Each structure stands twice: as structure tokens, then as C-alpha cells.
């Protein structure tokens, strides 16, 4: 497992990620959500993006906004 970066305080911060449905973008989407940020992400691939949003909602109890 790769170590994750920790930022001073992302609780309640708003984050918009482009290409957030797969790869590095998905890692950022999940990482920011795990650190308490309100996350919105954009991607052209619906399937992986919706699966990511579902997984984050299941794990954290809050769903990122997929646009």
C-alpha cells in the first residue's frame, strides 16, 4: 500500500478534480474525500466514475458529486 499525503486540514474544503474517475485522478478523488473534503469530480467515463462514487459513499457515508 502506498503512503498517502496528509494536508493540514481539508475538513469541509471544496475540491474539484478533472479526470477524477480513474487512475491518478481517482486516487485524488478518494484521498481528498477520506480527508474530509467535499469532492466534485469530472470524467468522460461514466462506468468507472459511478463505481468510484458508489465505493466512496459505501466506505465513508458521503457521496462525491460526479459531473
Instruction: Give pTM, 2 decimals.
Output: 0.85
pLDDT at 3: 59
Rounded distance between C-alpha atoms, residue 1 and residue 50, angstroms = 24
pLDDT at 6: 65
pLDDT at 2: 52
List, in order, residues 6 or more apart from 64 with CB less than 8 Å away.
20, 29, 33, 39, 40, 41, 52, 53, 56, 57
Q: Over the stretch 6-33, which tens digit does the pLDDT of each residue have? A: 667 888 899 999 999 999 999 999 999 9
pLDDT at 5: 63
Whether 1 has a pLDDT exceeding 80, the answer reads: no
Ordered structural domains, the chain, with CATH: 14-66 (3.40.50.720)
User: H/E element holding 43?
Assistant: none
Amino acid at each position: 500500500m502506498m503512503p498517502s499525503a496528509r494536508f493540514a486540514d481539508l475538513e469541509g474544503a471544496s475540491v474539484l478534480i478533472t479526470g477524477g474517475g480513474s487512475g491518478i485522478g481517482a486516487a485524488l478523488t478518494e484521498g481528498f474525500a477520506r480527508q474530509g473534503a467535499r469532492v466534485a469530480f469530472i470524467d468522460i467515463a461514466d462506468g468507472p466514475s459511478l463505481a468510484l462514487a458508489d465505493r466512496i459513499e459505501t466506505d465513508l457515508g458521503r457521496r462525491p458529486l460526479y459531473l
